[in-house]
Amino acid sequence: SGLSGPGRLHDLCVNLEAASPGELKSGGEGWSIAYGFADTPFGTCLVGVGPRGICHLAFVAPSGTPTETAALQENWPGADLRRDDEAASRILAPIFDPPGGGGSKRPLNAFVRGTEFQVRVWRALLQTQSGTLVSYGQLAVAIGQPTATRAVGTSVGRNPVALLIPCHRVIRSTGVIGNYRWGHVRKRAILAWESGGLFTERSTTAT
């Protein structure tokens, strides 16, 4: 299993916080979310940052810019979206910066909306080690729901924060790499990058 225990030293820390029922209901009402597009080693990314941290991160197909922007607005319908591509580049740079690249390694805050079950799955994903793989069944066991493999798979597929919540590390129990929300070719490329030591490990503190 690629699951790790807490207390390991990591180069980049991700603090995951889940929206409260009231915040889910308001849909980010009164918020200003800065979003933008930036190039990464794995294609263009859309990142959205609200008052509580990164609330959206997705890889974008060449023709998918309007679709991903609409998905961000759908997740936070009450928020005011403001595009800032320069800010997006600054935010994404340390995430993709290789060891020794000189980029900032400050902790990153991720703020997500999801069901209690989904958030449990995403927090379990944050315990996986870079360069390793974990099956849907292993994730189900990790959250104390060993018979909920199918529901775990659904939750993995609905991850709103690509890469930081590493759903790309999940494979089938047969060893097949399987599908990926942002394309199986990209998934293989990210895994190869990580296994080659070019991607830093991450830890989480959950609130």
Catalytic sites, residue numbers: 167
Rg value, the chain, Cα = 16
Decide: 114 and 165 in contact? Cβ < 8 Å: no
Sheet strands (E) in 3-52: 12-18, 32-40, 43-50
Closest by CA to 118, choosing from 147, 151, 75, 74, is: 151
Distance CA 149, CA 154 (A): 9
Distance CA 58, CA 136 (A): 21
